[in-house]
Structure 1
Amino acid sequence: MQGHMAVAISMAMAAGLALTGCGSTGTTGVSAETSAGGKNEAGRNTAGNTAGGQEESQSGAGAAQVTDTKKGGKDGGTSLIFTTGGDQGTYYGFGGVLAGKIGESTSTSVTAITSGGSQANIEALDAHDADLGFVQSDVMAYAYNGTNLFEEYGKVADFSTVAALYMEQVQIVTLDPSIQSVADLEGKNVSVGAAGSGVYYNAVDVLGAYGLDIEKDINPTYQSFGDSAEALQDGKIDAAFVVAGAPTTAITSLAATKDVYLVSLDDEHMDQLIKESPYYSKNTIPASAYGTDEDIRTVAVGAVVVARDDVPAEDIYNFCYGVFENMDSIKAAHAKGAELNLEFATSVTAVPYHPGAADYFAEKGMEVPVK
């Protein structure tokens, strides 16, 4: 797996640098700064290396750029790899915005790359193919405790929470107006997320609350958000589970050419689900998100950034500094920026926080659990 990730990182960095050269802003997956460097005695990547150990061949002037452009935070200077999600999901678009802002504001450089989602991001951290990753709050707990998605893979404990950033709604998307309840999915062709993502277990939970078995009562397919949207448009599936911050790029693009419908959950079944799985909370997707006739009631989990325990505290401090000192400009660049706030950022209890994050939040008068 490490070899594949290293290739993906190299391609992503090359593509991102090309986008930067073309003046792309907002959603580019690569920070504005990279520099050459090596590894320290502990084998950690220092400025300019990808998490997989490959080096960018750049001049000494490029190396100086990372530290010389520092505008705040602490003396970090490490180049971090940040795995996000599919290129039509919220993780990637928002991750690119955050990476750019952190690079502009601090000495730490962050490169956001596409990935297979929450489970894949945890596994990339475990394999030292990434330094940071987006993850659903439920999947983070699965990994830390070695349950559900991580029952076979095994417990992963050498990562920490950086910050919770926004809520990810369970979106059940269809082009068929006759599908008005989760119960109406029985016997239908339904995408339940890409293999390696947390969407599958969200689908299991939601369907289960309505008495449906994912393997027996629906015809499941395993597709990314973008592939799910294409399959809906082509009539190959009847509905798709998408767990991401709304509006989500893949669904927004679909709604531009088709009448999109989202399935609401009723209070009775949501209460049952939350009682059995308390990491869910009730949430509302406004009608304005996709132009639906009314607001959609559903459940949501948190979108959390996690990091390997051995990432320098100064660089994790800088990640938090770059995000929470620039909330207004991030909000202007991406809709999810409106959900950033320190109270939610420090609300995670399932996995302790990284010391660098704890240092930043302590300066803001917020205490978080630390390993």
Structure 2
Amino acid sequence: MSDNLISERVDRRTLLRGAAAAGVIGIAGCADDDGNGDDGTGNGDDDGTGNGDDGTDDDNGDDNGNGGQTDVIRWHAGGTGGTYFPLSGEFEGIIEDNTDYPVEVSSTGASVENVGSLGNGDADFAMIQNDIAYFARNGEGLEAFEGDPIENLRGVATLYPETIHVLLNPDAGVESLSDLEGMRVNTGDLGSGTQVNALQILESAAGLTTDDFDEQNTDFTQAANQLRDGDVDAAFVVGGWPVGAVEEIATTTDVQILNMSDEERQAARDDASWFADDTIPAGTYGGIDEDVNTVSVQAMIATREEFSADTVEAVTEAIFENLDRLSIKTDFITADSAQDGMSIELHEGADRYFN
């Protein structure tokens, strides 16, 4: 890195700290693509410490080693059929226009895969679900993380609800979650956040385990194709509405979305604190003419502990000072709500901006 660029970033850091002092207070388990297609399979095998030994913060919090930072910020999103990927593309434009950092957005399997990539240093920022963040940081909840926490996982901001869509083949005659007993159900990619959410909801709200139905596992786009072709009776999709894969199938196929009962939603909330009541408004998807009651988790931005605090602060400031440039989830993403549901420790750089 050139001396001029270092000098520019030091000057920028000084300005950022002044802005943070003005005080903007605002900032997470599960899905989508999570808003998008949380079909990740990350294995969480990293010891969680990252490779930032040569980039440790000094006493004043400056990351002189830059946390192993490369010339390009590596931002891991999710599947192209969900919300994470297009929203990350909008973040990319904002960051590049308002900081000195170029950004490379990658399509991934979303939450589970992404926390593994942050853990081993392959990603700098990533979109994940707040329940998956909690599982990963604490080494529980998913086989990928059991006894192997991603210790360097840190939060940046929560963004919007990740809504649980239970798509139905109208010919299956499903009116409740318990009706899925004995049916073919796509619960999302194996090991994904979507699968975790689906199995939690089926067990807590209907008493169903994988012994009680024919479980299928694919990503959102393939699940939609299975539903269209009559190969499954139901498919779980987790993402911020409108989810691209659901929009697409709704334009070509007669599809229903399960309207969860109050009792089913209560059971899901009682079983897992990260679930919250949610509603998909009528008209969100073609053929869905009435509000659909369901539950949701939260989408969030995460990073890794050893990554430069100055860069994280600059990226966070760029996003939340330019929210007017977003066209996706604009009713939900705000600085004031950006710490709501944050399920893991906040990164130093994000803390500087919000607090």
Q: Which TM bucket (shorter chain)?
A: 0.7 to 0.9
> Tell me, what secondary structure is at the counterpart of 1:275?
helix
Larger RCO, structures 1/2 (Cα 8 Å, 6+ apart): 2
CA distance in 1, matches of 2:190, 2:117: 15
Show the counterpart of 2:161. 167
In structure 2, relative to structure 1, the CA distance for the partners of 1:142 and 1:41 (3 Å cut) is: closer
Distance apart, 1:325 and its partner CA: 1.2
CA distance in 2, matches of 1:310, 1:329: 29
Q: Which residue of 262, 271, 277 corresponds with 1:282?
A: 277
Distance apart, 1:47 and its partner CA: 4.7
CA distance in 2, matches of 1:253, 1:165: 24
Show the counterpart of 1:328. 324
Q: Which residue of 125, 138, 145 corresponds with 1:145?
A: 138
Structural mapping, 1:265-344, within 5 Å: 265-291=260-286, 292-331=288-327, 334=328, 336-344=329-337
Show the counterpart of 2:83. 90
Show the counterpart of 1:3. none
Distance apart, 1:147 and its partner CA: 0.7
Distance apart, 1:258 and its partner CA: 1.3
1:48-69 CA-to-partner distances (Å, cap 9, x unmatched) read 3xxxxxxxxxxxxxxxxxxxxx
Structural mapping, 1:46-85, within 5 Å: 46-48=69-71, 79-85=72-78
Distance apart, 1:339 and its partner CA: 1.3
In structure 2, relative to structure 1, the CA distance for the partners of 1:211 and 1:142 (3 Å cut) is: same
Contact 1:82 1:112 (8 Å CA) reproduced: yes
Structural mapping, 1:12-23, within 5 Å: none
> Tell me, what secondary structure is at the counterpart of 1:252?
helix
CA distance in 2, matches of 1:47, 1:120: 20
> Tell me, what secondary structure is at the counterpart of 1:187?
coil
CA distance in 1, matches of 2:342, 2:97: 30
> Tell me, what secondary structure is at the counterpart of 1:194?
coil
Show the counterpart of 1:239. 234
Show the counterpart of 2:148. 154
CA distance in 2, matches of 1:300, 1:338: 16
TM-score, L = length of structure 2 = 0.78
Show the counterpart of 2:112. 119
> Tell me, what secondary structure is at the counterpart of 2:225?
helix
Show the counterpart of 1:219. 214
1:8-37 CA-to-partner distances (Å, cap 9, x unmatched) read xxxxxxxxxxxxxxxxxxxxxxxxxxxxxx
Distance apart, 1:343 and its partner CA: 2.5
Contact 2:157 2:342 (8 Å CA) reproduced: no
Contact 2:140 2:147 (8 Å CA) reproduced: no
CA distance in 2, matches of 1:188, 1:248: 24
In structure 2, relative to structure 1, the CA distance for the partners of 1:217 and 1:350 (3 Å cut) is: same
- The reply on whether 1:185 has 2:185 as its aligned counterpart is no
Q: 2:111 corresponds to which letter in structure 1? A: S
CA distance in 1, matches of 2:88, 2:116: 18
CA distance in 1, matches of 2:123, 2:81: 20
Q: 1:235 corresponds to which letter in structure 2? A: G
Q: 2:290 corresponds to which letter in structure 1? A: E
* Residues matched between the structures, number: 291
- The reply on whether 1:347 has 2:343 as its aligned counterpart is no
Distance apart, 1:40 and its partner CA: 11
Deviates more, 1:209-218 or 1:242-251: 209-218
Gaps of 5+ in 1: 1-38, 49-78, 363-371
Q: 2:184 corresponds to which letter in structure 1? A: N
Distance apart, 1:129 and its partner CA: 1.0
1:285-342 CA-to-partner distances (Å, cap 9, x unmatched) read 11121130211111100001110011111211122122211112213xx2x1331112
Gaps of 5+ in 2: 1-51, 56-64
CA distance in 1, matches of 2:301, 2:145: 22
Show the counterpart of 2:10. none
CA distance in 1, matches of 2:347, 2:118: 14
Show the counterpart of 1:36. none
Show the counterpart of 2:204. 209
Contact 1:118 1:196 (8 Å CA) reproduced: no
Distance apart, 1:179 and its partner CA: 1.8
